[in-house]
Amino acid sequence: MEVALIFITQLIYQNSPIPITSKILISFLLMAFTSILFFQCYNRIRKHSNLQPPLPPGPKPWPLVGYLPAMLSSNNFSTHQWIHSIMKQFNTEIASIHLKNKCIIPVISPELALEFLQAYDSVFGSRSSISDDVDMLTRGSVSTILSPTGPQWRKMKRILTSEILNPSTIHRMLGQRTSEADTLLCYIFNQTCKNGGGAVINVRSITQHYCGNILRRMLFNRRYYGKRREDGGPTFEEEEHNQALLTVVRCVNAFSISDFIPCLKPFDLDGHSKILKNALNVLRKYDEPIIEKRVQQWRNDKKIKGAEDILDILISLKDDNGNFLLSIEEIKILIIDIQLATVDNPSNAVEWAMAELLDQPKVLEKAVEELDKVVGRERLVQESDILKLKYLTACVRESFRLHPFSPFNVAHVSNYDIVIAGYFIPKGSEVLLSRSGLGRNPRIWEDPMKFDPERHLKDGTVELGISEPTLRFITFTRGRRGCPGSSLGTSITMMLFARLLQGFSWTLLPKFTKIDLPQPNELSLSKPLHLHAKPRLSHDMYQGFIDQQT
């Protein structure tokens, strides 16, 4: 500090007419004053730090940049692997990692996770300050997923919870979801008919297509953005839209260098902003013309049939004065929020469950036996059957536990300093609940890397459905930032899984004797899962639904 001060003093006085003795005296006084001030501040900080509890364990940060250079140089690890390696190095279930101006608090303890999301929910109910990427997503509006808390956020969350994802609305749209389950069955059956009674099916594609179809039916009362396919399969438009949604989800959960060094934002060194912008442009290209046309119909009183879908509900809401409650921009961001919250988890969980079941034929056999016993082969499984399908539920729970789509939840930001479990958590800290760390915690789970649905039957947690209120793994989070659509998410996931297992016999492709599962520290299948499907129900059952589609 003294060297810097001398340098500054020289710059100030090098061309000054002040005598040299006066210059030296001024420099000396400045250095003395600064030194005294520095040591006073240092002593206060040291005294205060001796009184307050320690931060969670973690590496010692470097001046100014924290531990950011170490993260950027970890070429052999993804960011989530690097964070977990630090927690393993310090043998801790909660850590503190300083990345320049941010303090990251990763957590893999379910007990501590409950502290953050339940006991101290009001403290950790916010998000990071609005970033350029979030502003790009919301265009100045407020996202229920990403925006900090405030009056506008509470308004949007209240609408989502009370008007859209309430039991009445979800039940009213049961027919649309069932229709999409029937369409999925017809599509796969059509593929088998074209190939002599069996077909190679891209499981990732059909699960994502199913989730996208349900979203479009519930949001816009339509399956296709353009011309429909006769066999019920996806067109280019639907596939492009689904991939854009998944890209946005990945960007939201990703670490970007500009999040920690804001001055680098204009350069977009990791391409994060460009990727997000392109994906959002795709979503808006398909969704916004539908939204704008429908809003115009309601504003001009041309919508006479009443609310047929979620978009109608959002547009028709009015305040106490009889004015429309939501602006068109608010409607657009709520539509995106609903899609982002629904598209990833069901399709990922079912693809992984199918991969694990094909890797363990006895588990697959038990799941199919339960379906035949509870539902039979004379009718198709329905949402009303889900509560009785305990083994299938256990399989889905295990898939969520072992194979989360994202390694972390979106960060929960502390609103002020607080002490939790004896650790000091500074204001502004970003708490990351590790989905993979919680679900694979060896203290909680015996043989955590083994896919074992029986564990959920033995401990009785299967009675909870696919939710896990104690946060030993995460399907739907809790607290004010919790997922309000857990019932809908359960229905989508379970119906997709049950229809696939009931409707078809699944086998590995020729020349394959084992599923190529990734390494334990990886979260995703490196390639889409391809399996051979063969109808296992009466052809008349499939044909009946095909006739309804035409």
pTM for this predicted structure: 0.87
d(CA 69, CA 461): 43
Residue 34: what pLDDT?
Answer: 52
Per-residue confidence band for 69, with pLDDT thresholds at 50, 70 and 90: confident
DSSP state of 94: B
| Rounded-to-integer distance, Cα 282 and Cα 245, Å | 9
Q: What is the pLDDT of residue 12?
A: 40
Calculate the alpha carbon distances from 414 to 10, 121, 424, 463 in Å.
44, 9, 11, 33
Which pLDDT score is estimated for 11? 39
Closest C-alpha among 230, 233, 234 to residue 550: 230
pLDDT at residue 47, as a whole number: 46
From start to end of 119-263, where are the E strands? Answer: 199-202
195 φ/ψ angles, rounded to the nearest 5 degrees = -125, 40
Residue 483, annotated ligand binder?
yes
Angle between helices 272-299 and 328-342 (to 10 degrees): 120
Q: Which of 101, 105, 106 is nearest to 62 (CA)?
A: 101
Tokens 């038990």, located at residue:
366
3-state secondary structure of 452: coil
Sheet of 430-433, strand order? 97-99, 102-107, 430-433, 412-413
Is a pLDDT exceeding 90 seen at residue 529? yes
Q: What is the pLDDT of residue 6?
A: 41
Residue 451 has pLDDT above 70, yes or no: yes
Lowest pLDDT segment from 165-174, 221-230, 264-273, 504-513: 264-273
Residue 442's nearest CA partner among 82, 80, 108, 57 is 108
Quote the CA–CA distance of 123 and 413 in Å, as a whole number: 8
When pLDDT is cut at 50, 70 and 90, the band that residue 520 belongs to is: low
Whether 199 shows a pLDDT value over 80: the answer reads yes
Using pLDDT thresholds of 50, 70 and 90, give the confidence band for residue 41: low
Q: Are 317 and 163 in contact (CB under 8 A)?
A: yes
Query: 10 Å Cβ neighbour count for 276?
Result: 23
236 versus 132: the higher-pLDDT residue is: 236
Q: Looking at residue 299, what is its pLDDT? A: 86
Both tokens assigned to 2: 């003294």
Asked whether 81 and 410 are in contact (CB, 8 A), the reply is no
CB hemisphere CA count around 186 (13 angstroms): 20
H helices present in 300-344, as ranges:
310-316, 328-342
Q: pLDDT tens digits for 3-35?
A: 443 443 443 444 444 444 444 444 444 455 555
What 3-state DSSP class applies to 424? Answer: strand
Among 241, 243, 214, CA closest to 226: 241
Higher pLDDT, 498 or 266: 498
Decide: helix, strand or coil at residue 433: strand
Backbone angles phi, psi at 66, to 5 degrees: 65, -140
pLDDT at 40: 55
Please give the structure tokens belonging to residue 6.
Answer: 């001398």
CA dist 387 and 291 (Å) reads 36
Please name each of the domains of the chain with its CATH number: 2-129 (no CATH), 151-549 (1.10.630.10)
State what percent of residues in the chain have pLDDT above 90.
61
Residue 447 phi, psi (nearest 5): 50, 60
Question: Residues, the chain, total?
Answer: 550
- Give the CA distances from residue 288 to residues 139, 183, 231, 312, 522, in Å, rounded to whole numbers and listed in that order: 13, 26, 27, 14, 36
Q: How confident is the model at residue 207 (pLDDT cuts 50, 70, 90)?
A: very high
Among candidates 434, 410, 406, which has minimal Cα distance to 482?
A: 410
Q: What is the mean pLDDT of residues 439-446?
A: 97
Q: pLDDT higher for 112 or 227? A: 112
The rounded distance, in Å, linking the Cα atoms of 140 and 153 is 12
Per-residue confidence band for 550, with pLDDT thresholds at 50, 70 and 90 = low
Burial class (CB in 10 A: 0-12, 13-18, 19+), 381: buried
pLDDT value at position 253? Answer: 82
Task: Give residue-wise pLDDT tens across range 302-319.
Answer: 766 667 899 999 999 999
Rg (the chain; Cα; Å): 28
Identity at 182, one-letter amino acid code = D
Number of other residues whose CB lies within 10 A of the CB of residue 283: 21
Distance CA 126, CA 345 (A): 23
Distance of CA 371 to the CA centre of its chain: 30
Mean pLDDT, the chain, integer: 86
Q: How far apart are CA 15 and CA 28, in angstroms?
A: 18
DSSP state letter for 144: T
Q: Please tell me the distance from the alpha carbon of residue 230 to that of residue 437, in angstroms, as a whole number.
A: 44
Residues 498-527 have a mean pLDDT of 84
The SS3 of residue 418 is strand
Query: At 433, phi and psi to the nearest 5?
Result: -80, 120
The pLDDT score that the predictor gives to residue 37 is: 53
Looking at residue 187, what is its pLDDT?
A: 94
182, 548 Cβ separation under 8 angstroms: yes
* 158 has a pLDDT exceeding 80: yes
Phi, psi values for residue 482, rounded to 5°: -70, 165
What's 528's DSSP letter? -
**230 falls in which pLDDT band (50, 70, 90)?**
confident
- In this prediction, residue 426 has a pLDDT band, given cuts at 50, 70 and 90, of very high
Residue 264 CB-density burial (10 A; 0-12 exposed, 13-18 middle, 19+ buried): middle
Token representation of residue 33: 């004053």
Q: Give the lowest-confidence range in 16-30, 154-168, 179-193, 379-393.
A: 16-30
Residue 478, pLDDT > 80, answer: no
Confidence at 197, pLDDT banded by 50, 70, 90:
confident
